Amino acid sequence: MSVDMPSPLLGGRLPHLLYGGDYNPEQWPEEVWAEDVVLMREAGVNLVCVGIFSWARLEPTPGTFEFGWLDRVLDLLHGGGMSVALATATASPPPWMAHRHPESLPQLADGTRLWQGGRQQYCPSSPVYREHAVRLVEALARRYGDHPAVVAWHAGNEYGCHVPACWCDVSAAAFRNWLRARYQTLEELNRSWGTDFWSQRYGDWEEVIPPRTAPTYPNPGQQLDFRRFCSDALLECLTAERDVLHRLTPELPVTTNLMGPYEHLDYWRWAEELDFCSHDSYPDPADPGSYVDAAMAQDLIRSLRGGDPWLLMEQTPGRVNWRRRNVAKRPGMMRRWSYQALARGADGTLFFQWRASRAGAEKFHSAMVPHGPLDRSRTWDEVRQLGSELSGLDAVIGTRVEATAAILVDWPSWWALELPSKPSGDVRLLEQIGDWYRALHRCGVTVDFVRAGADLSRYALVVVPNLYMVERETATRLESFVEGGGTLAVGFFSGIVDGFDQIHLGGYPAPLRRLLGVMVEDFRPLAEGEQVGLRFGDGPVAATGSLWSEIVHADGADVLATYAEGELAGLPAITRRGGAYYVSTRLDEGGLLGMVLALCERAGVRGPLPVPPEVEAVVRSGEGRRILFLLNHGGAETPVAVGEGAEVLIGTPADGETITLEPGGVSVIRLT
């Protein structure tokens, strides 16, 4: 790693891309540990995550810590040249916590308690859990903060993956405290939630509860604030640990493994609290389009901290165990998808897990070291090959992905959009974002994600799919962006409510009406299977819309396309006012692709070089070097013109100015 461009990962201590996996030695006899270190060296591993589920071993009874075994593990790893991201071990409390403190168990909206026996059985707001967790973290930090193997902290694990919310009485009290802090007065809460609707007005704070199972829709404001509270409650679990760690081991970075566009946690706020982002990536090999979803998730993770390099903390070498049918990665797929993470900003990749478990719920999750003989394991062969390759890619470390297009995503708007009792319950944000992302990906364009209210001036093109909730600051930023020459595309059902899920009166979408030059008179959701044709100018029907339509009035906007049929025949479907486009329906794939091509053309946005559909091309750059990643997800050998002077780091050497991508193949090229 060059000194002038330190990776935020691991405090800049490591010279190579990170490679390794979760290591759970407590599942194995000590004699296996030594063999593990030998095999890690053989595989090119340089980093392992240790102790993620070790709480019950580290603190077998409350307040009694047993560190001896972990001392030996860390010393052994250090002796073998491994670095360690040490877990805070708080991902799953030992059974004694549930037994001694049953009120620490989470509860669902219908009152169902979630018991010990699996993992993550804690109420995020539980003081019992939090106090015990912090005590353990402090003990770990004091004992291992200066262990030479330890280079980072891995706090918790996949926060909220099973229990993102809890409706118990402990949570209810915490929710009320959170609401007091937000609203100060009960009158303000009543106003913000609109409790005059349906006789919901509160007269006493104690009457307020989480949105438990109710006769019908609970108050939307209550539901929305509960989503906010749940994200915050888990985040407090993280920051409580992080604060201890920063205090006791200020030089060690703290991360946790995020899960891409995870609905329940506002990762924009979470990322602020991390020293670097980590990510777990599990696209389904049975789905031929899943690699594009994976790219999108990785672009999001990178964007969460402004483009900083991040770490692929978990992927599987082969299969997972939690789908109905766990199809395995085909040969070369694990390698290609690993390079995809690097291409999109990762400075390393780890696997879940190092050695496949003999027992427990994940024993059929593939691992770097399989159950059977290594000498006849293609998984092991692939793991070693990748480890070997990555050791030669130091040049990648710390470079940053180039992107001039962005998609705006906002968690509270997402939550509000998908609350029930909408014009259409089938408007799902990830589907809408996915539509736009796939079209941009198909155009070869690398995309950042941006948050609501962010400065957009570094982008030429910004897409805003279904931003149902728009606060003043966001509208202003969008206006400034367009005024500054930016090209903006806004999807339907945007700008409808304020931060309390209350309608912006004055004609939809009130805060964006001036910017977009339209007024939406009313919504016309389409029935299941219903489609409506669209016509550009006087042309024939050239695209179709589904899911949604609207009665749009052009108030200053140009009408680019009109509805061709039905009640809306002749009315505007797609409009443009200066650089601000509005799309009032869900376009079919071809229609959206045409739209995106036009947007890119106007904005001057394009990919690093022309590539066929199933090839990804992404450039990372920095400090005078540009590194091109080419990934061939298709089954055909594909030539790609990469220009003069390219240095092939990975892949078939260039024939003059052209490189040949094998079917499923990868190339990494230093352009300058």
Site for a copy of itself in 300-319 (CB under 8 A): 318-319
Contacts of residue 365, defined as CB under 8 A and 6 or more positions apart, other chains included, come to 316, 319, 320, 321, 352, 353, 356, 357
Q: Which of residues 249-308 bind a copy of itself (CB under 8 A)?
A: 286
CB of 417 to a copy of itself, least distance (A): 12
Query: Does the active-site annotation cover 314?
Result: yes
Task: Mark 499-538 with x for binding to a copy of itself (rule: CB under 8 A) and - for no binding.
Answer: -xxxx-xxxx----------xxxxxxxxxx-x--------
Q: Which of 20, 21, 94, 387 binds a copy of itself (CB under 8 A)?
A: 94
Q: Residue 523 burial by CB count (10 A; 0-12/13-18/19+): exposed, middle or buried?
A: middle
**Closest by Cα among 465, 515, 461, 464 to 487:** 461
SS3 at position 10: helix
Q: What is the spatial distance between Cα 482 and Cα 579, in angstroms, rounded to a whole number?
A: 6
Q: Which of 4, 31, 110, 655 binds a copy of itself (CB under 8 A)?
A: 110
Q: Which of 63, 181, 325, 540 binds a copy of itself (CB under 8 A)?
A: 325
31 near a copy of itself (CB under 8 A): no
Residue whose token pair is 């070369």: 332
Q: What is the spatial distance between Cα 498 and Cα 473, in angstroms, rounded to a whole number?
A: 11
Task: Mark 409-448 with x for binding to a copy of itself (rule: CB under 8 A) and - for no binding.
Answer: -----------xxxxxxx----------------------
Give the residue with the Cβ less far from a copy of itself, 46 or 377: 377
Give the residue with the Cβ less far from a copy of itself, 215 or 537: 215
User: Do the beta carbons of residue 341 and residue 278 sit within 8 Å?
Assistant: no
Catalytic residue among 314, 389, 550, 616: 314
331 near a copy of itself (CB under 8 A): yes
135 near a copy of itself (CB under 8 A): no
Q: How many residues bind a copy of itself (CB under 8 A)?
A: 122
User: Do the beta carbons of residue 398 and residue 15 sit within 8 Å?
Assistant: no
User: Do the beta carbons of residue 536 and residue 565 sit within 8 Å?
Assistant: no
68 near a copy of itself (CB under 8 A): no
CB count within 10 Å of CB 533 equals 18
Q: Which of residues 342-371 bind a copy of itself (CB under 8 A)?
A: 356-364, 366, 370-371
Dump the DSSP string for 544-578. EEES--EEEEESS-EEEEEE-SGGGTTSEEEEEET
102 near a copy of itself (CB under 8 A): no
Q: Which of 7, 83, 120, 466 binds a copy of itself (CB under 8 A)?
A: 120
Q: Which of 251, 567, 623, 637 binds a copy of itself (CB under 8 A)?
A: 567
User: Do the beta carbons of residue 621 and residue 402 sit within 8 Å?
Assistant: yes
Catalytic residue among 158, 241, 382, 550: 158
Q: Which of 40, 84, 89, 478 binds a copy of itself (CB under 8 A)?
A: 89
221 near a copy of itself (CB under 8 A): yes
Q: What is the spatial distance between Cα 600 and Cα 272, in angstroms, rounded to a whole number?
A: 31
**Identity of the residue numbered 645:** G
Of the listed pieces 205-213, 407-415, 441-449, 643-651, which binds a copy of itself according to CB under 8 A?
Answer: 205-213
Radius of gyration of the chain (CA): 26
Give the pairing type, strands 400-401 and 625-632. unpaired
540 near a copy of itself (CB under 8 A): no
576 near a copy of itself (CB under 8 A): no
Q: Which of residues 155-194 bind a copy of itself (CB under 8 A)?
A: 162-163, 193-194
Q: Which of residues 367-396 bind a copy of itself (CB under 8 A)?
A: 370-373, 376-379
Beta bridge partners of 105: none
CB of 521 to a copy of itself, least distance (A): 6
Contacts of residue 393, defined as CB under 8 A and 6 or more positions apart, other chains included, come to 16, 17, 342, 649, 650, 668
Q: Which of residues 585-614 bind a copy of itself (CB under 8 A)?
A: none
Per-residue exposure over 561-596, b if at least 16 CB sit within 10 Å of its own CB, e if not: bbbbeeebeebbbbbbbbbbbbbbbbbbeebbbbbb
324 near a copy of itself (CB under 8 A): yes
Active-site residue list: 158, 314
